[in-house]
Copies of this chain bind each other. A is one copy, B any other.
């Protein structure tokens, strides 16, 4: 009657925003009831492209743990654990790097795209090129069979499974399970300016800890239909960020369908649709913000949660490492 294991988590490069909520955090609240869930605070992975800014990576550890707890992650159901404190992950990473070629890493579409976006060119840090092997270590060390990922990250799971098959073939048995990617229905939320990626550094995000004023200002500034000049004109919902967000957060989907029809026919101004979205976001974020502020007062509790989750994770990942070492017939003292 074991529940299937999910591994998920976030790079610790800044607090979470409502894009994270829609894309992953909301689902995790469900999964923690049905799955054994590990939430990895991926500080080591964050260093692969932030090695010269370790302070940002360090400070984000507590920020994200606060976001998790404030959003409703229950540490008695989910284990919040810290990647850098799980040495089995680096041991398996280094081992897996021997089972994947440089050419294969360079062909990985996720890596190719991220190299392009970050402008690395040939000066890509080796750790960044290697992170698919590190991610394979993360996933397999937990023996996770379910990994929720964005659509653009699916090739990483395929690469993980290639490594799994090689390890199993060398060991002559099914030591590690293959993992299945779950791609959430809600795609990635755009920024409030309509750009594809919502990010704190891009200044186009609404933080999960946003104040009431910040939410109001962000919704007012939100990109809609630039061709809608008068209320009576028909408006477009394609690329209209307000509707994209309403799709993600509005529970009343019938009401939303009517609203869309009205907007498209004309006679409904941006003020109305923004008011609706703002009310929804204020209602979503207010309790998270309150709880987050309370938790932030008790850093000791948050550290205890991370310590306990990391202890559970350490037990699991060390056991897997021992399994792999033993199955491959490596030397054991």
- What residues make up the interface of A, taking CB atoms closer than 8 Å to B? 12, 43-44, 47-49, 51-52, 54-55, 57-58, 61, 82, 84-85, 87-88, 90-91, 93-95, 97-103, 105, 122-130, 133-134, 170, 303, 306-307, 310, 325, 328-331, 333
| The residue from B55, B88, B97, B122 contacting A102, defined by CB atoms under 8 A apart | B122
Least CB distance from A136 to B in Å reads: 11
| Chain B residues, Cβ within 8 Å of A133 | 126
Q: How far is the CB of A112 from chain B (nearest CB, A)?
A: 13
Bound complex: CA of A134 vs CA of B98, how far in Å?
A: 13
Q: Can you give 16 contacting A-B residue pairs, CB < 8 Å?
A: A44-B94, A47-B95, A47-B330, A52-B170, A58-B331, A85-B333, A87-B90, A93-B94, A94-B134, A97-B126, A101-B123, A101-B126, A102-B122, A102-B124, A103-B122, A306-B333
Residues of B within 8 A of A61 (CB): 331
Whether A105 lies near B87 (C-beta < 8 A) is no
Chain B residues whose CB sits within 8 angstroms of the CB of A12 once the complex forms: 331
Inter-chain CA distance A214–B58, complex, in Å, is 60
CB <8 Å contact, B87 and A91: yes
Q: A123 to B98, Cβ gap below 8 A?
A: no
Please report whether the interface of chain A is mostly helix, strand, loop or mixed according to DSSP. helix
Contacts of A303 in B (CB 8 A): 333
Whether A51 touches B90, Cβ cut-off 8 Å, given contacts A57-B331, A102-B124, A333-B310, is no
Whether B51 and A99, one on each chain, are in contact in the complex, defined by CB atoms closer than 8 angstroms, is yes
- Is the beta-carbon distance between B331 and A97 smaller than 8 angstroms? no
- Give, as a whole number of angstroms, the nearest-CB distance from A12 to chain B: 8
Chain B residues within an 8 Å CB radius of A87:
87-88, 90-91
Instruction: Check A125/B103 contact, CB under 8 A, given A90-B90, A330-B54.
Output: no
CB neighbours (8 Å) of A333 from chain B are 82, 85, 303, 306-307, 310
Instruction: Please determine whether B98 and A47 come into contact, CB atoms closer than 8 angstroms.
Output: yes
Say how far A199's CB is from chain B's closest CB, in angstroms.
Answer: 21
List 18 additional A-B contacts (Cβ < 8 Å) besides A54-B330, A58-B330, A101-B125.
Answer: A48-B98, A51-B95, A51-B98, A57-B331, A84-B325, A87-B91, A90-B90, A90-B91, A97-B127, A101-B122, A101-B123, A102-B126, A103-B124, A126-B130, A126-B133, A303-B333, A307-B333, A310-B333
Q: Are A329 and B54 in contact (CB under 8 A)?
A: yes
Contact check, A328 vs B97: say whether CB atoms are below 8 A apart: no
Question: What's the Cα separation between A52 and B167 when bound, in Å?
Answer: 9
